[in-house]
Structure 1
Amino acid sequence: MDDDFDPIAEAKANWDKRWPEHSTYMAAATSIMRAQQLILKAADDSLKPYGLTFARYEALMLLSFTKKGELPLSKLGQRLMIHPTSVTNIIDKLTSDGLVERISHPTDRRTTLARITDLGTKLAQEATKAIHDVDFGIGHLKENQNLELIKLINAVRGLSK
């Protein structure tokens, strides 16, 4: 494969011929999606030795950041910005691996909590070193580039900061 060939630039050139008013949007959106794939692969590859995907790692870390190491499943979904079915699948896998346990909410029978176990806390700490080693898949960017990237993506997400 030619290292100088950029398939997104090629697609943009083709889009310019047919829909020039949309070509920059297409190139930007496609670039974000491709970058997400590359970053996720780097993150997942670094976490694989720990039996984790980035999604499961995020859930463990979110639980580890709470005062009691637990959150309602619905709140996990909100914080991770994922569908309830995805939360269930993630927590099922973490539970089967002994990293998380499901417990009843002390005051609301309708709510189930996910609680990180001691094993989950230990594994999360070990996995954090691995993901830090690859700088979350974007270590090739400089600090100011990361800050600019955050600002731009926040705009895409509809956030002003």
Structure 2
Amino acid sequence: MTERRDTDAIAEARRQWNKRWPDAASAMATATSIMRAQQIVLKAVDDSLRPLGLTFARFEALTLLSFTKTGALPLGKLGKLLMIHPTSVTNIVDRLSDDGYIERVPHPSDRRTTLARITNEGRSLAKKAADVVNAIGFGLDALSESEKEAIVQIVRRLRVSTGELS
């Protein structure tokens, strides 16, 4: 459970920032709020997945593989879809492979490429995990549908501005 506070640390930081850098106080408060929201959501999701032996990152990988026609993706493509560094993909694949939820297999037409393929156990776990995170609303149950959609659109504008999306 999160410790309750009598004061809002972000509001206080904004107040202090406004004294020194008033033109940046709003951006600082917004960035800090986004980062805090990420921490809150990640904790809720990870807490719900922990009894299944998963983290959000491993859940995402299993889910992506379960969405594919063949249940397999090249490791590089998996990393791009997860938007993570290749080292992180290797770690996730290693852990899921050790647990029997995915397997590494050679690409049928490219000897340089390895595929991560979900197993039947992995598909079963992905379904259970989706049920668990859906049941807690991904930690966002305090927000209305329109608030959630507004956040998606605001963050999308930010992603477009960085060139991640066109």
Which sections of structure 2, spanning at least 5 residues, go unmatched? none
The secondary structure found in structure 2 opposite 1:158 is: helix
Counterpart of 1:104 in structure 2 is 106
Question: Counterparts of 1:2 and 1:74 in 2: how far apart (Å)?
Answer: 42
Counterpart of 2:8 in structure 1 is 6
Counterpart of 1:156 in structure 2 is 158
Counterpart of 2:20 in structure 1 is 18
Counterpart of 1:41 in structure 2 is 43
Counterpart of 1:127 in structure 2 is 129
Question: Counterparts of 1:14 and 1:45 in 2: how far apart (Å)?
Answer: 34
CA distance 1:10–1:61, change in 2 (3 Å):
same
CA RMSD of aligned residues (A): 1.4
Deviation at 1:3? 3.9
Deviation at 1:139? 1.2
Q: Which amino acid is the alignment partner of residue 112 of structure 2?
A: R
Q: Percent identity?
A: 56
Question: Counterparts of 1:128 and 1:147 in 2: how far apart (Å)?
Answer: 20
Per-residue CA distance 1:5-29 (angstroms, 9 max, x = gap): 1100100000000011111111101
TM-score, reference length from structure 1: 0.96
After TM superposition, the structure 1 = structure 2 runs for residues 68-107 of structure 1, keeping only pairs within 5 Å, are 68-107=70-109
Deviation at 1:133? 1.0
Deviation at 1:127? 1.0
Question: Counterparts of 1:39 and 1:109 in 2: how far apart (Å)?
Answer: 40
Deviates more, 1:1-10 or 1:86-95: 1-10
Deviation at 1:4? 4.3
Counterpart of 1:118 in structure 2 is 120
**Aligned residue-pair number:** 161
